[in-house]
Amino acid sequence: MLIMEREQLTIAALFLFNSILKAAPSSTSSRSSFLDELVDHGIAPLIRTDTDATVRASADYGNLSLSAGARPAAAVLYPSRPADIAALLRASFANTPPFPVSARGCGHSIRGQASAPDGVVVDMASLGRHGARAAGGAGAAARLSVSVEGRYIDAGGEQLWVDVLRASLGHGLTPRSWTDYLHLTVGGTLSNAGISGQAFRHGPQISNVQELDVITGVGEIVTCSKEKEKDLFDAVLGGLGQFGVITRARIPLAPAPARARWVRLVYTSAAALTADQERLIDVGRGGGGDDGALGGLMDYVEGSVLLDQQQDLVETWRTQPRAPSSSSSSSFFSNADDTARVAALSAEVGGVLYYLEGALYYGGAGDVSTMGVDKRMEVLLRELRYARGFVFVQDVSYSEFLDRVHGGELQLRAAGLWDVPHPWLNLFLPRSRVLDFAAAVFHRILRRRPAVGPVLIYPINRNKWDGEMSAVIPEDDEEVFYTVGILRSAVASGDVERLEEQNEQIIRFCEEAGIGYKQYLPYYSSQAEWEKKHFGAKWAKFVQRKNKYDPKAILSRGQRIFTSPLA
């Protein structure tokens, strides 16, 4: 029986090896080392090389890379434990040449960043599935562990944030920083930054981590934190998958509220919107006066741009307050009269409106009562400079508010509009130039050739970001910067090319106008572009860390930062 199992392992390993290295001959000793590594660690049976597996693992939410002719992965690893991933990375490191390895969570990248052309994609979700079986079918909870006394949750890198929320709420606790969409993996968002309307107060998700388990590009499993292996900890957070695979994160927890007062206010200018947003996020920056009176009254502050009264499903899917029923559509507005009033206001001001999207948490284990939230609302509605008469409020549970985008996803899937190309553009902008950007982009460029999809705009406090981490934000000394998300869907023939051209026009405008932008969820086609346009002053340290933790550039080559071993 043992002989048969070893023969099966060897056959599987040979199949994988030939698939990956058919175009890259290597020495007999390298081949033997590669096979021994796979067989000895028992990972060969966890690998698939069939087209169904490799094409599925190479696709992503953007639906742009494969359609543009990108090469798919040669194989997919379905790990049962972190040690399987470590074994794969050691096998690649020992081989000449090393083959690419990328970790894939939910595949929510836009331009193939999690792909491994002609290499191996690690299906991170498999860790949770195998962990559940090992724990007797406990599901996601098998790799989620809440410490009530320590006020933290240990979450596998493959776990979804929505499951982190549910596990934490079961103990009356919650993480403090979120993304707007919770059906993403812990490791995925921490490899970028993880931002939403809570970031002004608590910082991005990468600023809310106590400890990580990471597998480096040499196959070493390391536990790191600000106190232990600090350099690796800082490198991995916001590191775009370049330094290691996150297999566990320890997330601090706080008492959880029960409810959210969800508010949408309509504005007729970008100047009025951004001025109020900055008043609301003025916490701990010494604003004082009237601004200080509003700072922190909201727990969540975002905004969006309404172009020519576009209110269809694709336009509003990120902000659906309730699931549709057979008798009513899903809309923040209570009736058709509200929609008509907003349309009339839009026409009156030239076709562009702005929403301030906010939420106030209360009840439960939080420190704000129903009476307290009512008083906060009175102050906000009196002091904010929105268009009077255009106030829309929903009262929902805390979990419903945080997971609101999922309802829009289900509606788009039902309508066949989820798995379409998404040529998104996400930017960080200096506070001092946001109105210049709004005038040129929102009022001119985007209106010349309208497209469908939400456009987000909101400010973030710089002092909530850790400059030692790999994430990149605008290189200036302004206390506040803005995030702009132009999140369009290509639903008609020719949309991809048209929207990509529009994205390039936006970038050209920023460069010609001297706006020091940075891309969030960045994508560049060459290392020179990454160095000049993205990393700037951080490039030297980024390269130094790459040399230290992944010197053969095995990890995340789909990012196109490093596509071959470093010298």
Q: Show Cβ contacts of residue 280 under 8 Å, excluding neighbours closer than 6 positions.
A: 200, 294, 295, 296, 297, 298, 301, 358
Decide if 223 contacts 212 (C-beta within 8 A).
yes
Q: Identify any residues that bridge with 116 across adjacent strands, giving them in sequence order.
A: none
Angle at 186 between CA 137 and CA 94, to 5 degrees: 90
* Burial state string for 280-304 with b = 16 or more CB within 10 A and e = fewer than 16: bbbbebebeeebeebbbbbbbbbbb
Q: Which of helix, strand or coil describes residue 486?
A: strand
- Residue 86 has phi, psi (to 5 degrees) of -60, -40
- Which 8-state DSSP code applies to residue 533? I
Q: Backbone dihedral region of 54: left (phi > 0), alpha (psi from -120 to 50 degrees) or beta?
A: alpha
Q: Show Cβ contacts of residue 241 under 8 Å, excluding neighbours closer than 6 positions.
A: 102, 103, 113, 114, 191, 555, 556, 559
As given in the structure block, the two tokens for residue 18 are 């030939």
Catalytic residues: 108, 180, 302
Rounded to a whole number of angstroms, the distance between the first and last alpha carbons of the chain is 46
As given in the structure block, the two tokens for residue 354 are 């702005």
Rounded distance between C-alpha atoms, residue 111 and residue 426, angstroms: 13
Rounded distance between C-alpha atoms, residue 408 and residue 418, angstroms: 10
